[in-house]
Every structure is written in structure tokens, then in C-alpha cells.
Amino acid sequence: MAGANYVAVRLKGRRKADVTRLREHISRARRSSQNIKTDSRHNFAMAYNDYDELCRRHDDAEQQRQGRRVRKDYRRMIEAVVVLSDDRMRELVSEKGWRGTRESVSGAMDKLTRAISDEHGLVPIDWHFHTDEGHRDANGRFVRNWHAHISFYNYNFENGKSPLVQMSKCRYFKDERTGDLKRDFNHNFVALQDRAGEAFKSLGFRRGEQQKFPGEKRHKTKSEHVSRLEKQNALAKKKVQQERKAFAVQKSKGVEEITAKYKRLAQDYKRIKRYAEKAKKEREEVEREKLDVKALGEEYEKATDYVLSLEKLMKTRAYKNFARYKSIESEAIVEQNKRKEKEAKEKAAKYAEQLANRRLYEKTQQTRMGLNRKKGSTPWEEEFFADVEHSRRLAPKKKARRRSKGLKYKRGLDE
């Protein structure tokens, strides 16, 4: 839970056959353990006595006292596992750092070890604090399993008894409602939780919550945990098989779709290949045309150089003659225009003179004859005036209008 700061202790006896493998895990002599998740550089420990030496002393003491060896099923070692909450340990590391946390926790662990040893007559062997085990939560954060293994030798060399037997004795009480005898909480194990709370109180930890009823299991053993994992793995395996079947169906459909797409792509590839070949031919043709254009350009440059050379030659040798010929030609054109203008004026004056003489003649005839067109004229007079009108109509009106505005020569007027 968030903000947890509990400390708890679990106690269990170990036979000699199980001690070797357990101590290899505790001391990290067996590096292949699957419980280790990270590096072990932050682990620390403290030793009090040698386990093998205590085993020899125990065997000698039993040989002298009873004249026989220690039984094989005797639980020589008692393992006390101290569990600390992840939230409070993270706070300690952030406050004091790894070195300060190590010193503080070491003091609390030594205090707890000596308290348990003095109270129950156990011989302390050593303790190891582990920070390299844990798991990742749903958010991917690594949650460390902060815990320590305290090892005690289960033999009191003063009285020759097993302290674990005395610690495991339970009290019974009579149920007032049913009248049955029921097992009460083991006061020794309850006292262990109190000692752990007192030892780690200075570091901000508190005693773990007590069980609701005797025999309640809140912490799974390794076998229970492994069986639970096996069930989860079986369910996961079944789920994977179902997913594989669904994937096989999807795969067959996907193969069909991919085959159809491959056929379409093959057709597209053939079409693109044809287009590529066509484009290649067109590119080759373009390259040939480029070469032709290049050749034409070279020929054009040669022709341009030839023309420039000719122009240069004309400027150097015949430029003066050419300019003189141009001036003579322009003078001849001016003289021709003047001559044409003079001829046109002469023709206009001649035509005006003819027209004036004709009108004067008509007027003279009218005056000499004394004829005036009046009503009741004689047939001879009518015929005379008719001839006069006929002659007037022969004269062009446009020439008369043009003459009144001033005569101007136009080519083809009298031609």
C-alpha cells in the first residue's frame, strides 16, 4: 500500500540437508538464483559465529551428554526473515543515501538479532540484508523486496535444549460459546514482531499488523507461490494456444491476401517493365537527338563564325563603297520623287486650264446667244439647252469638289 512503513518477522527451522542450499542463496554464493533481479552491490551483512564450527560443537556436546549423534531431522538452523516496506526504504535512501541507509539498517538489524538471541537463548550466526530481489509493477517500476535473513543456531549450549521447541509451544483457551479448546496466538512469535518494531522504530518503521485469528496465513511460501505461478503459466499457455489458432486462421487469410496482392504486383511489375523499356528507348532516342542537336549546333557555330568573318571582311574592304552607293541611291530616290511631283502639278494645272476654258466657252455661248431658259421656249431653244445640260453632266463632280479645295496630285488621275 502507498506510504507503508511496516516491519515484520517470519521464523522457520531448517534441517541440515536444507541449510547448505539456503546459505548459498543467503550469502549469494549461488549466483544462478532466479530470485535475483538486479545487481547485488547494495547488499550488506554481519557475521557472529561460524555455522560449521557450531555444528561440530553441537555434535561433541550430544556425544558427551547422551552418547549418540544428533538426529538427521534435527532443525539445526533457524531462519528469521525480516521484511521491510518498499515505500519507507525508498524514503530512507532518498534522505540518507545508500551509505547512510546501510549504517542505520545495520544498527537496527544488530539490535534485533541480539534481542532475539538474549530472549530465547539462540546462538546468532549471521545476517544478510538483500536489496537485489523484487518485481515490476503494472507501471513498469521496479519494486524492491527489502528483506534480511537472520541465521540462528538452534541449540542452547548451557542447558542442552532446542530453543525452537520452547518457542513453538502454543497456548490453548476454552471457547465460551462452544466449549471447545482453541489454539491461542503464540506469544513468542507475537513478541518477535514487537522486538522488530522496537528495533526499527528509530528509522520510521512500525510493527506489522497482527493476524485476525490464530493460524491465518497472509504470506505465501515459496511452494505456494510456485504453484500459483504454474497455474498462471498454464492459463497463459492456454491463452497463447488460442491466440496461435486465431493467428493461424488470420495467417491463412493473410497468405491468400498476400498471394492476390503478389499476383497484382506481378502484373504491375510486367506493365512497369514494359513502360521502363519504352522509356529506355525514348531516352536513347532523346540522347541521339541531343547528339544531332549538338552536331547542328556545332555546324551553326561554324556558319556563324563564317558569316562574322564575311561581315568583318565587308567592313574592312567594301564599307566605304557601300556607304557611297547608299547615299547615291537615296539622292536618286529624292530626285525621282521631285520629278513625279512636278509632273503631277503640271497635269493638274493643264486639267484645271481645260476645265476653266470649257466653262468659259459655255458661258460665252450663253451670253452671245442671249438665251435664257424660260417657260414657253421654242423647240430649237429646248434642244440647245439639252446639249448644254448634257455637256455639264459629262464633267465629273468629284474633280470639281477636289479642285475647290486645292489640287493635289494623285497617281492615275489622268491616266
Strands 6-14 and 206-207 turn out to be: parallel
What is the model's pLDDT at position 184?
59
> Which positions of the chain have pLDDT values less than 50?
1-2, 212-216, 371-375, 400-401, 403-409, 412-415
What is the model's pLDDT at position 1?
41
What is the model's pLDDT at position 49?
92
Answer yes or no: are the C-beta atoms of 198 and 183 closer than 8 Å. no
In angstroms, rounded to a whole number, what is the distance separating the alpha carbons of residues 389 and 399?
A: 18
What is the model's pLDDT at position 409?
46
- Number of C-beta neighbours around residue 45 at 10 A: 16
Through-space distance between the first and last CA atoms of the chain, rounded to whole angstroms: 130
What is the model's pLDDT at position 321?
67
What is the model's pLDDT at position 405?
47
Give per-residue burial for 317-355: e unless 16+ CB within 10 Å, then b.
Answer: eeeeeeeeeeeeeeeeeeeeeeeeeeebeeebeeeeeee
| Nearest alpha-carbon partner for 210 in 187, 230, 177 | 187
| Nearest alpha-carbon partner for 90 in 191, 205, 169, 171 | 205
What is the model's pLDDT at position 218?
54
Answer yes or no: are the C-beta atoms of 163 and 90 closer than 8 Å. no
Answer yes or no: are the C-beta atoms of 193 and 9 closer than 8 Å. yes
